[in-house]
């Protein structure tokens, strides 16, 4: 008999048993954790990976009678029921109950952008996905939006890609608490624990969302944690804070367990990694949009502290491009600023200094101080840098060497060239001369 027909028959048998006994609790659990694997020679072979179901069956002879009566009602044949653990029974094509992983299939190692901020966590977690239990538990922490969930999910997706029958579960600490609460209300805590005990890989996201009031959930998690670790199963946990700070939320015995494994830190991406992320996100878009280098630089420099914020900015820009096609043959810095509704910022400067001048010019040209100080030579960054250097020289009368130090230059030759460039353009362009005079006036007003 085909697996599908066996599953349908077993469902009918359990439904018939519920009707006959007027008792749904036990047999609903059987429906979740048992399978009719084989029907041959008037013997129904029932398998289960759940120790509680097996214990109930073995300790209550009436259950076997009820099931055999139900088989007779449906098939009009005398059937003998045998229930055994799936770990011991040897039956061809035995059905192994699957666990819905709850993973986002798009969050894979292939889609993850590696940088200095995350290279070590990436390498260790990739290794862990192919060597379960070698390093367990793994505690992964960092600020919100730096890619922890992506890394966490990548481990599960990689394991399932290489070993499809692995039992993997991803869920947040809040979701875990909700499952415990439901199990407690339904009096199925034992089944819940057995479900988790059978996992090969448990991925817990945002452990800091556990509340101190979740006493039962923390106790159950402690039991599950210990059971999985004892059996060399893999546990990976993410948090927005360190284990020490978690002591205000979790039981101390939990945080001390976390320290028994490997602790990994994911930091905010530096600008170059943020640029790679921007390019990756753009290339994954089905419309294949064209962003010029200035636009990419702006997004990377202004959203590199938070990858979620960076993704949100890109999505906003792409949506703007869809609804304004006449403006967006290619996406320039002006389009990015329009899409993100960036307006010129009013800068308050109390004391004139090199940093104040940087801040002033960065605001005027919609770039960041980091960009002014960087080695980037795109026009939208290079020319404001020339202006800032020029104003630093004429307003503060600093030496070329001092200004070179301020702008992280190896020698003062670059500083001299920047100043000469601005002086030449002042002579050539009256509008530009007036703009520089305006900048001087605004900056002199703070002295």
Block means of pLDDT (10 residues each) for the chain, 447 residues, are 76 84 64 82 83 71 86 90 67 46 90 92 94 91 90 95 91 89 85 87 91 79 88 92 78 76 90 88 79 85 81 86 70 83 54 87 81 77 91 90 87 89 92 90 76
Name the 3-class secondary structure at 85: strand
Would you state the structure tokens that stand for residue 351, as one six-digit string? Answer: 């004391």
Task: Round to whole Å and give the CA distance between 413 and 406.
Answer: 14
Residue 228: partners with Cβ closer than 8 Å, 6 or more residues away: 136, 196, 197, 199, 202, 234, 235
Residue 169: partners with Cβ closer than 8 Å, 6 or more residues away: 99, 100, 101, 102, 196, 199, 201, 202, 203
**CB-based contact 370:272 (threshold 8 Å):** no
Q: Please name the CATH architecture into which domain 354-444 falls.
A: Orthogonal Bundle (1.10)
> For residue 24, what pLDDT is reported?
55
One DSSP character per residue, 121-150 reads: HHHHHHHHHHSTTSS--EEEE-STTSSHHH
**CB-based contact 102:170 (threshold 8 Å):** yes
Q: Please name the CATH architecture into which domain 119-265 falls.
A: 3-Layer(aba) Sandwich (3.40)
Name the 3-class secondary structure at 56: helix
**Domain boundaries 3-85, corresponding CATH code:** 3.30.300.180
Pairing mode, strands 168-172 and 201-205 = parallel
DSSP conformational letter for 186: T
**Domain boundaries 271-339, corresponding CATH code:** 1.10.8
> For residue 201, what pLDDT is reported?
95
Residue 353: partners with Cβ closer than 8 Å, 6 or more residues away: 396
**CB-based contact 379:332 (threshold 8 Å):** no
* Domain boundaries of the chain, sorted by first residue: 3-85, 119-265, 271-339, 354-444
Task: Round to whole Å and give the CA distance between 256 and 14.
Answer: 45
> For residue 25, what pLDDT is reported?
58
């Amino acid at each position: 008999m085909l697996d599908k027909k066996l599953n349908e028959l077993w469902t009918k048998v359990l439904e018939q048993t519920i009707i006959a006994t007027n008792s749904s609790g036990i047999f609903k659990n059987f429906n979740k954790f048992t399978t009719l694997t084989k029907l041959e020679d008037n013997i129904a072979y029932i398998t289960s990976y759940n120790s509680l179901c097996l214990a109930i069956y073995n300790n209550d002879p009436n259950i076997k009678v009820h099931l055999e009566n139900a088989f007779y009602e449906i098939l009009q044949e005398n059937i003998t029921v045998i229930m055994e653990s799936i770990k011991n029974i040897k039956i061809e094509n035995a059905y192994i109950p699957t666990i819905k992983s709850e993973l986002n299939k798009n969050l894979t190692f292939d889609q993850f952008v590696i940088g200095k901020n995350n290279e070590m966590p990436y390498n260790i977690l990739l290794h862990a996905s192919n060597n379960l239990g070698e390093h367990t538990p793994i505690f992964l922490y960092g600020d919100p939006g730096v890619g922890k969930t992506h890394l966490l999910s990548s481990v599960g997706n990689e394991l399932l890609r290489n070993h499809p029958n692995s039992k993997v579960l991803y869920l947040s600490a809040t979701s875990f608490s909700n499952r415990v609460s439901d199990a407690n209300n339904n009096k199925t805590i034992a089944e819940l624990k057995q479900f988790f005990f059978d996992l090969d890989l448990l991925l817990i996201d945002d452990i800091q969302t556990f509340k101190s009031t979740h006493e039962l959930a923390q106790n159950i998690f402690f039991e599950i944690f210990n059971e999985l670790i004892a059996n060399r199963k893999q546990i990976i946990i993410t948090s927005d804070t360190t284990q020490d700070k978690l002591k205000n939320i979790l039981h101390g015995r939990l945080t001390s367990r976390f320290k028994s494994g490997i602790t990994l830190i994911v930091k905010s991406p530096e600008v170059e990694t943020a640029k790679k992320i921007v390019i990756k996100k753009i290339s994954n878009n089905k419309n294949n949009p064209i962003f010029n280098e200035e636009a990419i630089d702006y997004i990377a420099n202004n959203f590199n502290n938070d990858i979620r914020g960076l993704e949100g900015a890109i999505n906003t820009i792409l949506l703007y491009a869809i609804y304004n096609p006449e403006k967006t043959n290619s996406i320039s810095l002006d389009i990015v600023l329009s899409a993100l509704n960036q307006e010129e910022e009013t800068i308050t400067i109390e004391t004139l200094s090199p940093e104040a001048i940087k801040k002033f010019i960065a605001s005027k040209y919609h770039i960041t101080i980091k960009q002014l100080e960087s080695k980037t030579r795109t026009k939208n960054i290079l020319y404001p840098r020339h202006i800032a250097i020029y104003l630093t020289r004429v307003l503060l009368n600093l030496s070329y060497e001092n200004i070179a130090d301020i702008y992280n230059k190896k020698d003062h030759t670059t500083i001299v060239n920047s100043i000469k460039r601005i002086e030449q353009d002042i002579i050539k362009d009256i509008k530009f001369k007036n703009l520089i005079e305006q900048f001087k006036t605004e900056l002199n007003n703070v002295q």
